[in-house]
Amino acid sequence: MVSYERTGAAAVVTIDRPERRNAVDGPTANALQEAFERFCADDEARVLVVTGAGREAFCAGADLKAIDSFATRMGNPGGPLGFTHLVSPKPTIAAVSGWCVAGGLEIALWCDLRVATETARFGCLERRWGVPLIDGGTQRLPRIVGVGRALDLVLTGRAVDAQEALAMGLVGEVVGAGRHLERALELAERLAAFPQETLLSDRRALLEGAGRALAEGLAIEAREGAAVLMVGTGGAARFAGGEGRGGAGA
């Protein structure tokens, strides 16, 4: 249903229902929330990687053939599909192969970064069935691709391939077939290697400031920066001493 595996600095959460294109039913949503909470409590896990079993689908969204199984999720603060209404305290990456549609797209949008294979397909396919976006899609999609492109996808329900998704900024990188998880783990190790105090504070400032007035955003940035200033001062001293010259470590 859902597996949790530590790989280096990453926690890999895999939706494992390939016979249903990794669609999420109620028990799977519960398991996703439990996996997220496990990641949050694991101090050694610095990055969460979310993926789907196999290559055919990342996640096809809610399992409409098991819609009654979501009854216990009503009012759950995690959201219908597990954790989409929660805020991760640490970076998250979606490793996408195949179909990433409906609620599956909303799970991918919840992540900070998205890596996709050439076979990936993205879309709000729930449009054709009259199912609303209730896992954050209407709020996160325009923040990532802009209002115009978001309206295109939400209103038409059309699917876009990996290259169009890359062009609109929906994904950050397209890789060869089967390399999505490998590449996501490479990115996770890179993020984990940076000084964590400032990486996390900059992430908090960016996410909390998104959509606010500039003055409010600058105040958030100043607050977060002041809290980790000593870390930055130490890093600047190491650079001044010769460490990292010529882009080493970039």
C-beta separation of 77 from 86 below 8 A: yes
Q: Which residues of 133-153 are buried (b: 16+ CB within 10 A; e: fewer)?
A: bbbbbeebbbeebeeebbeeb
CA distances from 67 to 25, 31, 52, 61 (A): 7, 16, 20, 11
C-beta separation of 199 from 233 below 8 A: no
What SS3 class is residue 52? strand
CA dihedral 73, 44, 115, 35 (to 10 degrees): -20
C-beta separation of 114 from 84 below 8 A: no
3 state SS for 92-109: EEEEECCEEECHHHHHHH
What SS3 class is residue 116? strand
Residues taking part in catalysis: 106, 126
Q: How many helices (H) and strands (E) does the chain have?
A: 9, 10
